[in-house]
Amino acid sequence: MDEGFIPYQQSLEDEEQSIKSTQSVIEQAIAWFRAHSMFVLAYGTGCGAIEMPPTFTSRYDIERLGVVGVATPRQADILIVSGYCSPKTLKRVIRSYEQMSEPKYIIGLGSCTINGGMYWDSYNTIKKLDDFLPVDMYVNGCMPRPEALIEGFVKLQEKIRANSSEAGYIQYRTRYAHYRANQERLFGTQVQPRYEENFAGMNL
Amino acid sequence: MLLLDLLLMLLIAYGFGFLYYGLYRNLSARVHGRFGPSLAQSFSDSIKLFVKEESTTFGWMFYLGPVIMASGAVLNVLFIPFLNQGESLQGLSSYGNLIVVLYLMVLGPLGNALGVGSSGNPFGVMGVTRGLTRLLALELPFYLAAIGVMIDAGSADFGIIMQAQSTQSNMFAHPLLFAAAFISFLGFMGKSPFDVVGAPQEVYSGPATEFSGKFLALLMSQSAMFSFAKLLLMVNLFWGGADHLGELVAKTFVLFVAATFIGSVYARFSTVQSVEFLIRIPTLLGIVGLALL
Ligand code: SF4
């Protein structure tokens, strides 16, 4: 494989294509419906949240893509974490994510979720959201415009249709020890119940 | 044969219910100056929810709630004849009449109250309380109008009520009764200004707050079918029913669009305001309409 960003990106896309062709017709249909009906729980953690209302209302009208906001994590498919998270907020974000039913995805909105952004040296925010929760799609920028968020949704749609086993919610189950260790390192003794306990006695 | 007929009725109610819901989202988007989702969006939503995993458990009563609601909606569809003549699409209407249908209409909300109550979610309970309070006020004018229609036709049977309108429909013969029924019909459809039950920004999703996955899908499907049943009821009681399927679609469509447009331009009443309004204006219209019979 050639070195560099573009060949690397290409190799990722080729992989998605090959996964798609191994799906049965019914799996493809279900993936299509999933990709075209996304219920969003928008968690306004940072200043990037201000770009979400225009995305959802008349000016940019993301409902065209089948995206609607819902008021409770129970009904949501997608969690938008819009910017920096203090540990206190992160606890709530994790709790909300764990209450969502699978399949579920996370969009990290803004540079702060990627590497800390302009809060890179802050004592009171996390630097990399992916250490604590599996992020499926990043939208970079500070702050990202609604167009960028829409682009993020379109890319996420492609990812959902590819139905890959790399999806975040599967990662969160299979690599829970990793995420949990990071969470415990941050929160110390004040941690929430383990994710598996939510499913105790359920046949998944 | 009857079974096939019933199945067909359910399919029509399901299909048109969802199509109308998609249309509602589309039309209200246009009113807001947006394009809105595609017409089939609600189908995608419900299929996606049906294949989604379930993560909440609150005991069996919680799950029974949506099932009771759905059975209420299904029975309603089956007891209201779709056409005013012929053998087909009559469902169980020969076994029941308007009174049975009015009785069945409250089955859903009660089932919902039982289910939501056992989840213990405060927003769900608030939504249910709002819904039941509003229901009390909604029923009064609607029952007055229904009684008027029954007195006029001399029967509670749908066939006879529709036959009595063969020369002039009840809408023109008894405009006051129609007005009373139409206003409370808007409330039954959950349209603004009476949409206090699932009011976002106030009680989150209201009764649906704790429901996810398949049960949310069941709730959506039953509400689509139930709204088609309510459209049918209005068409049968006041517009003389329909001779064939095309006429049925046209009449329910007009009624639905009227309700949607009225719903998109009014701001929401508070619960108390909506009860006060319903008890004053439409109830008064209904009483005057009854007196003029
Ligand atoms: S990326 Fe920029 S706009 Fe977004 S939360 Fe961070 S500082 Fe705010």
Q: Is A84 in the pocket of ligand 1 (CB under 6 A)?
A: yes
- Alpha carbon B132 to its chain centroid, in Å, reads 15
The pLDDT assigned to B155 comes to 87
**Contact with chain B for residue A74, Cβ under 8 A:** yes
* Average pLDDT score over residue span B70-99: 86
pLDDT at A16: 60
Interchain contact, B47 vs A30, CB within 8 Å: yes
Q: Is the pLDDT of residue B148 over 90?
A: yes
Q: What is the largest CA-CA distance in chain B?
A: 56
Highest mean pLDDT among A13-17, A111-115, B83-87 belongs to A111-115
A4-8, B1-5, B224-228: the lowest-pLDDT one = A4-8
Determine the residue of A45, A50, A51, A84 to mutate for testing ligand 1's pocket, defined as the one with the most ligand atoms within 8 A of the Cβ atom: A84
CA dist., res. A104 & res. B52, Å (int): 10
Q: How many domains does chain B have?
A: 1
Give A 100-159 residues with CB within 8 A of chain B.
100-103
Q: What is the secondary structure of chain A as a DSSP string?
A: ---SHHHHHHHHHHHHHHHHHTS-HHHHHHHHHHHT-EEEEEE--SGGGGGHHHHHSTTT-GGGGTEEE-SSGGG-SEEEE-S---HHHHHHHHHHHHHSPSS-EEEEESHHHHH-GGGTT-SSS-S-GGGTS--SEEE-SSSPPHHHHHHHHHHHHHHHHHT-TT-HHHHHHHTHHHHHHHHHHHHTT--PPPHHHHTTT---
Q: Is the CB of A138 under 6 A from ligand 1?
A: no
Tokens 């995993």 locate to B53
Cα distance between residue B146 and residue B234, in whole Å: 10
Q: What's the pLDDT score for residue A107?
A: 92
User: CB contact, 8 Å: B264 with chain A?
Assistant: no
Instruction: Output A76 or A2, whichever has higher pLDDT.
Output: A76
Please state whether A25 falls in left (phi above 0), alpha (psi between -120 and 50) or beta.
alpha
Mean pLDDT over B225-251 rounds to 90
Q: Which domains, ranges and CATH numbers included, belong to chain A?
A: 20-188 (3.40.50.12280)
| Structure tokens that stand for B77 in this block | 């569809």
Instruction: State the average pLDDT for chain A.
Output: 84
For B232-280, the DSSP string reads: HHHHHHHS---SSHHHHHHHHHHHHHHHHHHHHHSPPPPHHHHHHHHHH
**Residues of B in Cβ contact (< 8 Å) with A204:** 53
Would you say residue B106 has pLDDT above 90?
no
Whether B70 has a pLDDT exceeding 80, the answer reads yes
Start-to-end Cα distance in chain A: 39
Terminal-to-terminal C-alpha distance of chain B: 40
Q: Please state whether beta strands A78-81 and A67-69 pair in parallel, antiparallel, or not at all (unpaired).
A: unpaired
Q: What confidence category does residue A204 fall into, taking pLDDT thresholds of 50, 70 and 90?
A: very low
Mutation to test the B interface, candidates A23, A56, A63, most B Cβ within 10 Å: A63
Worst-scoring range by mean pLDDT, A189-193, A198-202, B77-81, B269-273?
Answer: A198-202
User: In the predicted model, what is the mean pLDDT of chain B?
Assistant: 87
Work out the burial of residue B132: count CB atoms within 10 Å of its CB; fewer than 13 is exposed, 13-18 middle, 19 or more buried: middle
Percent of chain B with pLDDT over 90: 29
Average pLDDT over residues A153-159: 90
- The strand pairing partners of A43, in sequence order, are A81
Confidence of residue A203 (pLDDT cuts 50, 70, 90): very low
Within chain B, residue ranges assigned H as helices are 2-31, 41-50, 60-79, 98-104, 107-119, 122-153, 158-163, 170-173, 175-188, 213-238, 245-265, 271-291
The verdict on the CB of residue A47 being under 6 Å from ligand 1 is yes
Its domain, for residue B13, covers 2-291
**Relative orientation angle of helices B175-188 and B271-291, to the nearest 10 degrees:** 160
Looking at residue B269, its pLDDT comes to 87
What global pTM score does this model have? 0.86
How far apart, in Å, are the Cα atoms of A72 and each of A104, A144, B205? 13, 24, 7
Index of the ligand 1 atom closest to the CA of residue A45: 5
Best mutation site among A37, A62, A65, A198 for testing chain B: the one with the most B CBs within 10 Å? A37
pLDDT above 80 for A5? no
- Annotate B104-119 with b (16+ C-beta within 10 A) or e (fewer): bbebbbbbbbebbbbb
Q: Are strands A38-43 and A67-69 parallel, antiparallel or unpaired?
A: parallel
pLDDT at B228: 92
Mean pLDDT confidence for A26-52: 89
Lowest mean pLDDT among A26-40, A179-193, B268-282: A179-193
pLDDT at A196: 65
Residues 6+ apart with CB under 8 A from A115: A127, A128
Kindly state the percentage of chain A with pLDDT values over 90.
Answer: 16
Assess whether pLDDT exceeds 80 at residue B206.
no
Residue B55's pLDDT is 66
Q: What is the pLDDT of residue A197?
A: 63
Ligand 1 pocket member A142 (CB < 6 A) = yes
Answer whether B209 touches A (CB < 8 Å).
yes
Q: Measured between CB atoms, does A24 come within 8 Å of chain B?
A: no
Cα(A135)–Cα(B274) distance, rounded to whole angstroms?
Answer: 44
